[in-house]
Amino acid sequence: MGTWEQKLEKYAELIVRVGVNVQKGQEVFVLASIEIADLVRKVAAKAYEAGAGNVHVDWTDEGLTRLKYEKAADDVFTRFPEWETAKRNEFVAKGAAFISFSSPNPDLLQGIEPSRIGNYQKAAGNGLSEFRRAIQADKVSWTVVAASTKDWATKVFPDSASESEAVDRLWQAIFQAVRLDSPDPVKAWEEHNAALVKKSDWLNEHRFVKLHYRAPGTDLTVELPAKHLWVAAGSTSESGVPFMANMPTEEVFTVPLKTGVNGHVSSTKPLSQGGNLIDGFKLTFENGRIVEAVAEKGQEFLRQLIDSDEGAHYLGEVALVPHESPISQSNILFLNTLFDENASNHLAIGSGYAFNLEGGKQMSREQLQEHGVNESIVHSDFMIGSAEMDIDGIRQDGTVVPIFRKGNWASQA
């Protein structure tokens, strides 16, 4: 077996062991492009070796997706099939592990009538709302991981001599970001997670009531709920199994108080949103609500995102990532949120995670809302970090503690 095959196999093992941490008898649900069938088969093999019950793969094909957006009738995009909803819920009920491969062409849907995209986002968001709440409360183990595909790779490395060179370069970047080059990746992830947990512990000890962001184009205050919890991507499912929700991950994050966001914030990287790019945008908040949204590029898609529902007018996540994080230092613009969010401080439009609140995993939807956790059919991270960003934490007694200075953790943190 050549080095390449060995690499892919190591990656498959990392996803199965660290990503979702497959348990004996557990069902596994995989979402993947048909273009990466080779890797998916390796993941399935490793999952069965870990004792998985059935490995189900939901294959996607962007060629078909594009065709549909180009050619189907308008009303097709307003529907989401009942069986799709039932399928996800059935897997959640069985305590399945969910592996999602992210490998999208960042402008797959360029030129498509925005209302089609918006309508389908709404339909799918509603159809998958029960599933999404289960994920956001860690009822099951889940992970989002990446795979290199032609259309994505050629956008990230447009200067490549060939498509296959671009695909290889993107694989190398992915492997590096997920620490596959270390002699023992599983151990490297334990250490990495411990380092992130140390940061979240420090933040939790301070019980900040408010964050204050300052950077060119940004002056924003974000209040935090009294019971907010800072966490890293390492999490624990309802049945007590630790897993890693994103790979790569470099963030520590919590939930903002829904109505406690004020000021304005500017994006620092393009956002690939539903097959289109939104870039150079600025959001203005009053009491948590977005009251103005202007984009240099993709204004209509930004509008569509915010208009998904009432909750999409509010934030659901506040995440800290130092500018010197390895993904940021690679200086690659991945045009894929899984990577770009881990190269930059970011916020998320839409729903908040139940696990970001003390006792939140056991709370009802109503209780979460009472504690200021936003609910929406969307959750979309957008990047605001830069080498010029300062962040202060304000404590109950008014003390101001520097958290970030010039894009990186302040010396106190």
Kindly write out the interface string for residues 330-359 of this chain, putting x where it contacts Zn ion by CB under 5 A and - elsewhere: -----------x------x-----------
- Interaction of residue 138 with Zn ion, rule CB under 5 A: no
CB 193 within 8 A of CB 234: yes
The Cα 326–Cα 334 span in angstroms is 13
Q: CA of 157: how far to CAs of 160, 280, 388, in Å? A: 6, 21, 27
Residues 6+ apart with CB under 8 A from 217: 264, 265, 266, 282
- Interaction of residue 54 with a copy of itself, rule CB under 8 A: yes
The Cα 119–Cα 125 span in angstroms is 10
Stretch that binds a copy of itself, among 37-45, 111-119, 256-264, 368-376 (CB under 8 A): 37-45
- Interaction of residue 381 with Zn ion, rule CB under 5 A: yes
Q: Give the nearest distance from C-beta 47 to Zn ion in angstroms.
A: 25
| Residues within window 57-96 making contact with a copy of itself, judged by CB under 8 A | 57, 59, 61, 63-64, 67-68, 70-73, 75-76, 79, 81-83, 86-87, 90
Task: Give the binding-site size for a copy of itself (rule: CB under 8 A).
Answer: 35
Closest to a copy of itself by CB, 25 or 216: 25
Q: CA of 12: how far to CAs of 5, 45, 68, 302, 396, in Å? A: 10, 9, 31, 35, 46
- Interaction of residue 278 with Zn ion, rule CB under 5 A: no
Q: Give the nearest distance from C-beta 319 to Zn ion in angstroms.
A: 4
Closest to a copy of itself by CB, 70 or 296: 70
Place of tokens 């999404």: 132
Choosing from 34, 123, 188, 410, the residue that interacts with a copy of itself (CB under 8 A) is: 34
User: Beta-carbon neighbour count of residue 363 at 10 Å?
Assistant: 18
The Cα 165–Cα 171 span in angstroms is 10
Interacting residue ranges for a copy of itself, rule: CB under 8 A: 25, 34, 37, 40-41, 44-45, 48-49, 51-57, 59, 61, 63-64, 67-68, 70-73, 75-76, 79, 81-83, 86-87, 90
